[in-house]
Homo-oligomer: A and B are copies of this chain.
Amino acid sequence: MAAVRNLLFIMCDQLRYDYLSCMGHPTLKTPHIDALAGRGVLFRNAFCASAVCGPSRMSFYTGRSMRSHGSTWNGAPLPIDELTLGDYLRPLGLKVAVAGKLHFTPDVAGMTRLGLDPASPDTLLLRQCGFEPYDLYEGHVRPPDDSAYMRYLKARYPGDDPWSDHVVGAEGPDGQALDGWLIRNAHLPARVAEPDSETAYTTDRAMAFIREQGDKPWCLHLSYIKPHWPYLAPAPYHAMYPPETHLPIARQIHETRDAHPVVAAYRKNDEGSFEREDVATNAKIAYMGLIKQLDDHIGRLTRFLAEAGRLDDTMIVFTSDHGDFLGDHWLGEKEIFYEQAVRIPLIVVDPDPFGQRGIVDDRLVEAIDVLPTLVEAVGGKVPAHIVEGTSLLPHLRGGDVAAKDAVFSELDYGFRRARQVLGRQPGECQGMMVRTERWKYVEWPGYAPQLFDLENDPGEYQDLGADPAKARIRREMKDRLFDWMTTRKLRARLTDAEVEARTDTHRARGIHIGIW
């Protein structure tokens, strides 16, 4: 083991915190991901900044909460002057690249206003959130036909759109092609060969990148699109998890009565179909298979790193941007603030001689903590007046840790049918969560809050948002949100040291105030 020189920042998409065997899943065995945990620290209480791909990732990439970076939804551009991981790592000599998904939307209007050409090579990094696009692949999000993966597929499969026909094409029992977007087909195999699937391809590309770097330092963001929908796994993974291997759906009938207005409105989104048991079950067959496949590729990648000698000088972060309801709470997808959506898996392997091995850390940590961890791991320092996360290095190396007593998450549901169901305007659709070890409080401006007692009701079935006996707790939690809002980093253009140096200096500049 040696000092950290490289950073492998692995993100899965929509991988729920409890769908790993190291996180307690009883039937879904993930030995390779578990092995990462065995070599590092498993954070069992990690939370994303927003349970939506885009804003969650922008918080990972900036180390700032959603309300600070301003990219509140998929496709909402990140303001051009937000600093991202590459801005911090590149000056330290690392090549910073991505293989897989970013879900980043460039601030073209901002570039144009400043006279920057959004089509010029000069603005490449601004267009890719500060990552060199080694092999960018956004899955379902953008037309897939401009990606290297699409070209790869076209060289191997017939037709104009082999992605739709094979990756998202399901093979029926009689060999017929069926639409893999439809959940009724989620138990069928994808028509793509496993080695050509998204997870396999992206792993290949990651290994190619690492191989190409030789001994030069790098940060690779290996960003898998899976197990995000479309729920469809290639053989043999499609058939590994029949319904009897599934966790029971976590929901109670009373949740559908007197539901919180925003939760009720979310059940009217398309994914409200997950209240049907067959939808949830069929989705889980594919979902679990996709995770098993991911685990096998993490195993392949780990062996590759071992053989290349890179396990000794590479910090590995394994996480996800958010979770998936899979029918729990009568919900599908993610976004609202139940644990299934906002809690994320987080494992960090630190090859530093002081890096701890096989530790389980149950303290509250946040997605915004990852950026400062990565930067500090390679000797950098993040500006305290910009970055809102806290480095996890003390967690990793057994140092004194001032544990967080609360974590926070946000949502802008203005882009969702739920907004229209509720009759609200864009810009008035916020949700804000604060969660301590004991309590989870969600502020929904315009509506009553939600409150859950995680000690007595870990399943979050009893909303105490209107319970008169809990008024004091709600008050306390709302005040925590207040304090949190006031401590977001507002003064983004002067460091604390510059403020210190400028404090009370007017006399030295010949400015006399109030001198008789």
Contact = CB atoms under 8 A, between A and B. Distances in A.
Q: Which 8 A-B pairs have the closest CB atoms?
A: A271-B514, A426-B499, A77-B493, A417-B504, A181-B512, A273-B514, A426-B496, A72-B491
A416 B182 contact: no
Contacts of A513: 229, 269-271, 332-333
Contacts of A184: 516
Interface of A: 66-67, 70-73, 75-81, 83, 87, 107, 109-110, 113-116, 122, 126, 140, 181-184, 229-230, 269-274, 276, 278-279, 332-333, 384-385, 412, 414-417, 419-420, 425-428, 430, 432, 443, 445, 475, 478-479, 481-483, 485-494, 496, 499-500, 502-504, 506-507, 511-516
Nearest to A412: B491
A107 B79 CA distance: 15
A516 B278 contact: yes
B483 A445 contact: yes
Given A81-B81, A496-B425, A513-B270, A414 B503 contact: yes
Nearest to A274: B514
A494 to B, nearest CB: 5
B492 A270 contact: no
A81 B108 CA distance: 12
Contact of A486 (B79, B83, B432): B432
B483 A482 contact: no
B432 A73 contact: no
Contacts of A109: 493
Contact of A81 (B80, B276, B420, B515): B80
Contacts of A478: 479, 482
A511 B153 CA distance: 20
Contacts of A183: 514-516
